[in-house]
Structure 1
Amino acid sequence: MIFSKQVKFGWVFLTLLSFTQAVEKLTFQKWHRYSTSDLVTLGCDWAIAQYITFCEDSSTTANCMCVNEACKATYLNCIDTYSDTEESEIHAYNYFIETYCPSLTVANLTASLTNGTNYLKDEIPASSSGIQYTPVLVNGTIVENAIETFRIRYGVFDDGMFFGMGLSGYIALVLLLASCYNILKITRLNNLISSWKIYQLVFRNKSFLTIKQKYPQINYDNIVIFFWCVFNILTLCFHYESNGNRNVYWDSSYKQITRYISDRAGYIAMFLTNLTWFMGQRNNILSMVTGWPQAKFILYHKWIGRACALHVIVHSIFLLWQSTVMGYQAMRVITYWYQWGCVATICVSIQVVWACWFIKNLAYETFLVAHIILAVFFLVGSWYHLASKHRAHWFIYPICCWGLERLTRVWKIWLCGGVHRNATIKLEPMSDIISIRVESSYNDKFKFAGQFAYLYLLDLDFDWVFMFQSHPFTFVFQDDGSVLFYCKVKRGVTKKVKTHLLCEPGFTKTISVMVEGPYGGVNEAEISNKHVNSLMMISSSTGVSGSLCHLKTAIKNKIRNISMTWIVPNSQIITFMKNEFKFLNSVDLDGINLNISIYVTREDYSKEDEKLALAHLDFVHIKYERPDMKKIVLEELEATSPKKLTNVLLCSHQSLSADVKEIVDLQKSKGQNIAFHDETQTW
């Protein structure tokens, strides 16, 4: 065991060491916006290097202009000829020194030009005239064509950087607005702002609210994502230039445009790769600042990832297209940067299809493992693809961010006690509910309402794949310091656990689990604080776990009106979870109007069930019917004070959420002060 730990530690150490050494050996290419003076220097360099020979020894060709006075004077005379002003000429000299001859100074260059002018031949040598021993003139047409070519080509790089920064800025703006709105909610300044006329004119406009009621799928997130998709498409569709057969690289506009589209898409993809990893992190500090649930971050992670995939695929298709028409394909396909680029493109293409909801829902375990593997190969492929261009440093952030996020998960698991080997898992087969009790002394952070944690099931009797995945579940903090998770049996992990527990005596088993958390809880001060006049909680099945925590806090804070609606398929689930309601026997309800309604939708009335449930409490009402939630919510909201704050908390399935939100929006349009909160956990 000790030897195994030493081996693991050594492997991790060597991995980190090799990564550090690889980063140290990287040559970073900074973004440089080429000025007119820079382009003049590059144009002269192209015209001289391609058509005039000054140094016979190939080993000195690269720095011939630094050691050969005739070559140096020819360069400087070309720069002097095509520089518009003296200031531009000095700038071009500085770029010449920085790029080619860092050991020289401007004074050296001026002296060389003055001396070389005395020996300058007033003729343009032919490309086959051999080695030149005196300064000569340079073909002006070639220089001008080269300058124009470089201006267009490097302009494409600038456009890619600007568009990438623009798209990143769009997401940053969304996060900033969400953070400001969250701060206003926490400080309750939003109640003051909502009374302003300009706020009511914009956000409570009848036309706007009518559209929201008629098309509930139109929400702020969908609007943001719609414009995100539009902006990504637009970044590839305009502002391209070409100079036809005057281009010194590619002799037709057709070949130029295909390459320029590829280059721009590649630059944008580098930005979006970083954004994709940033938004996909579970331990994201912005979740506290914005108040967003993880489901919303995952939503943006998916759409940013799809946009990234779009640009990667466009980059690869147009580079392949240009390689084919230029006859470069056979030469490029044997290079490692091209091969690894193909690997990255294939991985991201598979990722887009693989992450579709129907595949994810069909086999989540397979999806999760493949998702991580494809992401790793995409990063590795992109790293090697860009290393030859000195741009691999763009992927240092995703790698470090991913690694740090995993370390944070391990740290949170350690804070939660590491591996719990005596967790009790129990199945209620009639209602398909699983409870997992983790006996441990958790800290006070687990007492906040609205929190959830991730569960890892480490029992190999279930499935080895379970060890690589974790899922978010709300929990109920117990008086003895333990936590109790209630999980609804669905597909994937919970279905396999149910199948296994059906064979266990009493449908109960002791297993090993890990708990990672807690997460969330940032809305507790907003949902169930003492300044709220009415709190309405609606949940179905195991979603009541979150409502129970808020119920305890609301009673403690003496909220005047509290109602909780719980929808269950059968009475067995009530019996299974009735211990969680025992605290109601001992709390002080003086001055609190508490009403708990439980709807049993798939059973007929039974006195025996009522005895087993919670009927001994006067404020608990059990009804054996399917509730009309629109009517119930409307009646409860109309009974509250329109000016005082009413919080509506939901933890249920999507269709119920849409019904409740429709009524909430309707009452908001009438000026009622309502805040809607959805704490449903999805993955």
Structure 2
Amino acid sequence: MRISIFRPIVVVSLLLVSWCHAIKYTYPTEEDSVSSACLAALSFYKFTNDLGTVKVPNCQPTQNRFLSWLICNVENQKPDTLKNMLKPVMTVCKKSKPVYNHTVEELYDLYEKTIPTAINIEKNPSFNASMNVTSPIIIPEKKVQRFTRAYYSRSKSQRHSKLYGGAIFIYFAGCLLIGGIVTWSKRLCPKLVQKLVGPKVNMFRRMFTVPPVNSKHKEFLRWKKLILGIIPTRAQTYVLFGYFALNIILSCVDYDIFVDNYFNTKHQVASQTADLVQYRTGVISMIHTPAVFLMSGRNNLLLYLTGWPYETFLLYHRWLARGMWIHALVHSSCYTWIKIDNLADYWKLEYWRWGTGATISGAFLLFLASGYFRVNWYETFKTIHVLLSALYIAALWFHMQKLNGLWIEYVYSAIGVWSADHFFRLCRLLWFGIFTKAECQLFQDDQTIKIKVPRPSSWKPFPGAFRWKIHLHVREGERRPHQVVSERSEQHIEQKKSIYVLVEGPYGFEAPMKNYSNSLIITGGNGVPTGFSTYDALTKPLRESSTETVRWIWITRDTSPLKWFEQELLGLQSRIGEINIYVTRSSQSSESGSTISESGSTSSVGEKGSESKLDIKEVTHQYGNSLTKFEKINIHFARPNLETLIIEEIQNATGSTAILSCGPGTMNDEIRRTLANNLDSSNFRVDYFEETQVW
């Protein structure tokens, strides 16, 4: 399979640019904190010849506020060199009006000349702070230390906010790296992987990687009739547990909270906690933003680096979005509590309104993206999701713009990632061709539409490939992921009709089934395209002398799919392999609840494990001549016992085995569970692959 990674590299590069750009953020050092503390402590005094401001004093050598600030810095700084001691003073003086470019020597000489005449407040009980100060003063050391701690504790917490936000994604990058190594090793080093067998390896896989988190994975999690979403696999659950645990821990630790803090005058401990937490959660939420947009993209480099299916990244996209919004909600709630006494005044500020708008739009995004809306009204969900995402990112941009552009590069990165992804999606559409005419044929029995789309020679499908198809006439703008062969639709059109379509793709990866001695493909319902394309690719090179075995089990409700898939199946009959089709609801069994066995006796199709094979010649009178064409295909009119079939396949295998599943969630979960519980039944490696598209 040829993989072009130019487009994904461009998309991910935009993400990395924002994180690299954020490195430029610097926070006050301890020396800077002392300088700021001295200015803050001096703000309580009035000087007679004061020409500057409280935060940026006039650095003229005759200014008493400036001289007092200089004394405070020299007396309370403890750096290694004199230059570091006076560097904060020189930096501020360059911003004063007029500008003063003092040197270290000049400042230290000025300090030595001033210190003998300065008033030491701590040693002068008669000093009246309410009166205008006519000479330089020496601020009490304890007061400066208290103010310094307030500044430095806030600076340290802000610096750690960036580090902790990065740590969360370093953890995620580690998980992606491990997942990529595991996935790609099966493709690049199959013989090495297939040697990893034994009780300990099987126990690890049984506990961590293969099974669903409980009895369900691909089934929707429901509360009464409300669809809540998809349950992750056990491995995904461990990754998400670590992610949320890390978020909680790093949002709650490493705060220096103390009484008599300069920044907080009311509810000292509570207000300090709220202030520090709101900043950290706000920064972590911002760092999430481009990653959330990246995970939803189809042209995502991480797809190629990990080899994971797109569905996995959609799952992480949803959970990262929830984590991002929870941080934003905590940030907004804490900041609102801090400003609760002046809420009406703050509501007049633009950054406040835009921040509130971003938090509210994020809440609607999560609510309307729940499984209930995605499954029942996908097209409506898609449109609203795009609009609300645009509103969220716009509100976030205005919010950060009004805060002097702090952290805004993450917004630019999210916009860049989204724009680049959609640009390359447009390129894929143009690559396939615009105004492509597709031939549609309706099969009345089960309302299936078979669509044949001519493709350009440069457009190469592969087993497991999927693409998005936009119908230009049947339903305007309908767009869902489809596998490359056929699809099912509820649209009623004429028996045959031509429509114009746009095709975007192909996406996905081919499961490395060719690297295994035995292949078992299990498909259910309209998962047949995956079964067909994989079986076709695996059996094409096989000869009579080949030792590899390929089996395909297709489970369908009735025989109607055999009509619209007839030509494809007939083309496989000459291949060296085995095809078993299980019809769970034949016309006879649907009426009487039983099937006809080869001996003529009946058995219930509802019983677990009942499996009866009906000879095609014996039922020609019931089904006509439609089934006589499938002479080399085994057709069973019963519900298969998948557990028994899988166990037999594992126990009878004389080499490594790969099992590929594509079908309903309940079927996939049963296969996962059965495989996990029977890994020890074989001395050879057994791997599981899954092809599903869940939106």
Cα offset for 1:140? 3.5
Cα offset for 1:48? 2.3
SS state at 2:482 partner? strand
Instruction: Say if 2:380 is the partner of 1:366.
Output: yes
Structure-to-structure mapping, 1:493-504, within 5 angstroms: 495=490, 498-499=491-492, 501=493, 504=494
Cα offset for 1:212? 4.8
Q: Are the aligned partners of 2:196 and 2:685 in contact in 1 as well (CA < 8 Å)?
A: no
C-alpha distance in 2 between matches for 1:536 and 1:55: 90
Alignment match, 2:653: 640
Structure-to-structure mapping, 1:256-267, within 5 angstroms: 256-267=272-283
Alignment match, 2:28: 34
Alignment match, 1:16: none
Cα offset for 1:618? 4.0
SS state at 1:84 partner? coil
Q: Are the aligned partners of 1:416 and 1:442 in contact in 2 as well (CA < 8 Å)?
A: no
- How many residue pairs align between the two structures? 612
Equivalent in 251, 254, 261 of residue 239 of structure 1: 254
C-alpha distance in 1 between matches for 2:428 and 2:510: 17
Equivalent in 531, 548, 556 of residue 547 of structure 1: 531
Give the letter for the 2:523 counterpart: S
Q: Are the aligned partners of 2:435 and 2:500 in contact in 1 as well (CA < 8 Å)?
A: yes
SS state at 1:425 partner? strand
Alignment match, 1:73: 67
Alignment match, 1:666: 677
Cα offset for 1:450? 1.6
Instruction: Say if 2:298 is the partner of 1:287.
Output: no
Inter-CA distance 611–645: structure 2 relative to 1 (3 Å threshold) = farther
Give the letter for the 2:456 counterpart: S
Alignment match, 2:584: 601
Cα offset for 1:57? 5.0
C-alpha distance in 2 between matches for 1:78 and 1:119: 14
**Unaligned regions of 5+ residues in structure 2, if any?**
1-16, 96-100, 217-232, 589-618
SS state at 1:151 partner? helix
Inter-CA distance 216–210: structure 2 relative to 1 (3 Å threshold) = farther
Alignment match, 2:614: none
SS state at 1:41 partner? helix
Cα offset for 1:647? 1.2
Equivalent in 86, 89, 93 of residue 93 of structure 1: 86
Alignment match, 1:482: none
Deviations 1:344-402 (A, max 9, x none): 01011112222211122222222111111111111111112222333122211101111
Inter-CA distance 203–91: structure 2 relative to 1 (3 Å threshold) = farther
Inter-CA distance 543–433: structure 2 relative to 1 (3 Å threshold) = same
Instruction: Say if 2:339 is the partner of 1:323.
Output: yes
Alignment match, 1:408: 424
Alignment match, 1:533: 517
SS state at 1:235 partner? helix
Q: Are the aligned partners of 1:40 and 1:92 in contact in 2 as well (CA < 8 Å)?
A: no
Cα offset for 1:241? 3.0
Q: Among the aligned pairs, what percent are the same residue?
A: 21
C-alpha distance in 2 between matches for 1:54 and 1:285: 64
Give the letter for the 2:646 counterpart: V
C-alpha distance in 1 between matches for 2:381 and 2:664: 23
Give the letter for the 1:546 counterpart: T
Alignment match, 2:633: 620
Alignment match, 2:694: 682
C-alpha distance in 2 between matches for 1:209 and 1:36: 46
- Backbone CA RMSD of aligned residues: 2.9
Q: Are the aligned partners of 2:307 and 2:509 in contact in 1 as well (CA < 8 Å)?
A: no
Instruction: Say if 2:587 is the partner of 1:572.
Output: no
Cα offset for 1:46? 1.4
C-alpha distance in 1 between matches for 2:103 and 2:90: 7
Moved more, 160-169 or 290-299: 160-169
Give the letter for the 1:376 counterpart: A
Q: Are the aligned partners of 2:209 and 2:235 in contact in 1 as well (CA < 8 Å)?
A: no
Q: Are the aligned partners of 1:78 and 1:137 in contact in 2 as well (CA < 8 Å)?
A: yes
Give the letter for the 1:282 counterpart: R
Q: Are the aligned partners of 1:597 and 1:623 in contact in 2 as well (CA < 8 Å)?
A: yes
Cα offset for 1:62? 5.6
SS state at 1:66 partner? coil
TM-score computed with the length of structure 1 as normaliser: 0.83
Q: Are the aligned partners of 1:54 and 1:68 in contact in 2 as well (CA < 8 Å)?
A: no
Cα offset for 1:135? 3.0
Equivalent in 457, 462, 479 of residue 470 of structure 1: 479
**Unaligned regions of 5+ residues in structure 1, if any?**
1-22, 477-485, 490-494
C-alpha distance in 2 between matches for 1:513 and 1:104: 72
C-alpha distance in 2 between matches for 1:555 and 1:329: 71
Cα offset for 1:444? 5.1
Q: Are the aligned partners of 2:210 and 2:688 in contact in 1 as well (CA < 8 Å)?
A: no
C-alpha distance in 2 between matches for 1:349 and 1:551: 45
Q: Are the aligned partners of 2:483 and 2:529 in contact in 1 as well (CA < 8 Å)?
A: yes
Moved more, 556-565 or 91-100: 91-100
Alignment match, 1:230: 245
Cα offset for 1:537? 0.7
Inter-CA distance 619–57: structure 2 relative to 1 (3 Å threshold) = same
C-alpha distance in 2 between matches for 1:214 and 1:265: 30
Cα offset for 1:680? 1.5
C-alpha distance in 1 between matches for 2:68 and 2:651: 87
Alignment match, 1:120: 118
Cα offset for 1:614? 5.5
Alignment match, 1:417: 433
C-alpha distance in 1 between matches for 2:22 and 2:675: 54
C-alpha distance in 1 between matches for 2:196 and 2:529: 37
Instruction: Say if 2:422 is the partner of 1:398.
Output: no
SS state at 1:472 partner? strand
Cα offset for 1:648? 0.8
Inter-CA distance 29–452: structure 2 relative to 1 (3 Å threshold) = closer
Considering fraction of residues, name the structure with more helix.
1
Cα offset for 1:660? 1.3
Cα offset for 1:577? 1.2
SS state at 2:395 partner? helix
Give the letter for the 1:40 counterpart: V
Deviations 1:504-551 (A, max 9, x none): 3x2x3322211111111343xx12x2x421111111222111121112
Alignment match, 1:654: 665
Cα offset for 1:229? 2.3
Q: Flag the structure with more relative contact order, 1 or 2, with Cα contacts below 8 A and sequence separation at least 6.
A: 2
Alignment match, 1:201: 200
Deviations 1:65-107 (A, max 9, x none): 43454343322211111113443x5324223334552644434
Q: Are the aligned partners of 1:575 and 1:612 in contact in 2 as well (CA < 8 Å)?
A: no
Q: Are the aligned partners of 2:119 and 2:136 in contact in 1 as well (CA < 8 Å)?
A: yes
SS state at 1:622 partner? strand
Instruction: Say if 2:139 is the partner of 1:151.
Output: no
Give the letter for the 1:510 counterpart: S
Q: Are the aligned partners of 1:258 and 1:318 in contact in 2 as well (CA < 8 Å)?
A: yes
Instruction: Say if 2:146 is the partner of 1:137.
Output: no
